[in-house]
Structure 1
Amino acid sequence: MAASREQESVARVLVHEGGFSNHPADPGGATMKGVTQRVYDAYSRSKGLATRSVKSITSLELFEIYDRQYWDAVKGDQLPAGVDYVVFDGAVNSGPKQSILWLQRALGSLYRGRPDGVIGLATIAAVQACNNHDALIDRICDQRLNFMRHLSTWSVFGKGWSARVAEVRSIGQAWATGEMPQPASFCDGGQSKAFVEDARAAPSTAPADAAAGAGVGGLGISGTLQGLQERLSPLSYASEWVGRVVVILAIVSAALAIGGIAYSWYARRKAKRLADALGGA
């Protein structure tokens, strides 16, 4: 770990991650100091070692995983002070791809490409063209919080995540403006993993489309019956009965059509907001 900010960033992330956790609602499962059992198993296999409980992870293994799988993955040494830490913390909590997506989207028009969750020349060039890293950190953290609010686990971990992101924002902006950042503090629940796989499902438009279709079809039938009523007009009793059916069918059909169209609009709008929050991951 050659970069001094990497060491300081890791130290703060470790405080946010705490020790061992295995909350039943945490998609990361058994996790030790931010490293999940799955990640630790993959690391052990890559070294030709037998897998074992993540509780047994050594300091050397921990720092090697943080260095290779998170800091290097987000190219921390090529990012400006503060931005490096903010993107790195997000990578440990939600995966490098997701954190890079937040960065790319936060860069706005400076990033000339489609957000893909990979830091390449275009992303680095956009970061270098940004002359206000303080504001960039604000936008990254806003992206991160909006993403988290759309996860099914927000009701369980939202308070802890909010506290963690607020502290990450403050520390990152202090570094970006050349000030001394505050020490990190542990926020219970903030260590839980926030993965895109736990995003809330977008509402289906199928029932609404079916209702709208049925309503339009019903209006067509009511028109047919209206014609029948006119032909039966000499038979007053039959004509009156058909007329009542026409009115009822027309009202129900109109309600179905309007309700279906309205809910379809709502569902599509909500699905778009969800897609925007998830950043195209």
Structure 2
Amino acid sequence: MDVADLIDEVIAREGGYSNHPADRGGPTHWGITQAVARANGYVGPMQALPRAQAVAIYRRLYWDQPGYGFVAELAPTIAAELFDTAVNMGVSTATGFLQRALNALNRNQQDYPDLKLDRVIGARTLGALRAFRALRGAAGERVLFKAIDAMQGERYIALAERRPANEAFLYGWLANRIG
């Protein structure tokens, strides 16, 4: 698994320019919202956002800064899921899903101490992931992936329930982001 491949997959899934009236994110290109593009120095029209700039934003904000490369060294499938979830829901949400799942799967702290839900990949989170992976192996990584996916799916449904305009996106979120 290579982060460049993950970014290519996200860009392929997100497509080109969009300005859907129900999307609170406003205009997007390559899946990058106008607000994110502006916060990262892009000042031109969203239709003209260079793909290379979108790639750099994805790598910096959704891979390097949250430390998902460190997760990839231990559990590549989990790192890929965190990256995809972070792009769609935010880094703190994605990392929080991992921490919550690790806490729920530690058998009442028999395997490793509970994590503080600080939504940051740090030494304790990596230590818990390392302990979980050592105990449960590849099969455990699949279960951890399912737990993160379940939280993501529940969040999508809740978003559609709270804001009916989000129903325009729910089918695509579930079809393209879960599993």
Equivalent residue, structure 1, for 2:62: 70
Deviation at 1:157, TM superposition (A): 1.5
In the alignment, is residue 39 of structure 1 matched against residue 36 of structure 2? Answer: yes
Matched with 1:150 is: 158
C-alpha contact 1:74 1:88 (8 A) present in aligned 2: no
Moved over 3 A (4+): none
Residue of structure 1 equivalent to 2:23: 26
Q: Does 1:165 align with 2:177?
A: yes
- Could you tell me which residue of structure 2 aligns to residue 12 of structure 1? 9
Distance 1:87 1:99, change over 3 A: same
Distance in 1 separating the partners of 2:151 and 2:22: 23
Quick one: distance in 2 between partners of 1:16 and 1:126?
32
Q: How does 1:30-179 map to 2 (within 5 A)?
A: 30-44=27-41, 51-79=43-71, 80-108=75-103, 109=106, 110=112, 112-131=114-133, 132-151=140-159, 152=163, 153-166=165-178, 169=179
Q: Which amino acid aligns with 1:78?
A: F
Task: Map Cα deviations across residues 224-272 of structure 1 (whole Å, 9 max, x no partner).
Answer: xxxxxxxxxxxxxxxxxxxxxxxxxxxxxxxxxxxxxxxxxxxxxxxxx
Q: Distance in 1 between matches of 2:126 and 2:47?
A: 36
User: 3-state SS of the aligned residue for 2:40?
Assistant: helix
- Displacement of 1:113 in angstroms is 2.5
**What TM-score, normalized to structure 2?**
0.82
1:222: which partner in 2?
none
Contact 1:113 / 1:122 at 8 angstroms: preserved in 2? yes
Which secondary structure does the structure 2 equivalent of 1:161 belong to?
helix
Task: Give the Cα separation in 1 of the matches to 2:14 and 2:113.
Answer: 31
The CA deviation string for residues 70-111 of structure 1, in whole angstroms up to 9 with x for no partner, is 111331211121111100001111111111111111112356
Distance 1:157 1:58 in 2: 25
Whole-angstrom distance in 1 between the partners of 2:99 and 2:116: 9
Identity in percent: 31
| SS at 1:82 equivalent | helix
Maintained 8 Å contact 2:40/2:57: yes
Q: In 2, distance between residues paired with 1:27 and 1:98?
A: 18
Q: Deviations over 1:8-64 (max 9, x none)?
A: 1111111221111111111211111111101111111xxxx7x11222111321111
With normalisation by structure 1, the TM-score equals 0.53
Provide the secondary structure at the position in 2 that maps to 1:20.
coil
Considering only CA atoms, is the larger Rg found in Structure 1 or Structure 2? Answer: 1
Q: Give distance in 2, aligned partners of 1:113 and 1:130.
A: 13
Q: What letter is aligned with 1:61?
A: Q
CA contact (8 A) 1:18 1:33 kept: yes
Task: Provide the aligned C-alpha RMSD in A.
Answer: 1.7
- Contact 2:30 2:51 survives alignment (8 Å): no
Secondary structure, aligned partner of 2:76:
coil
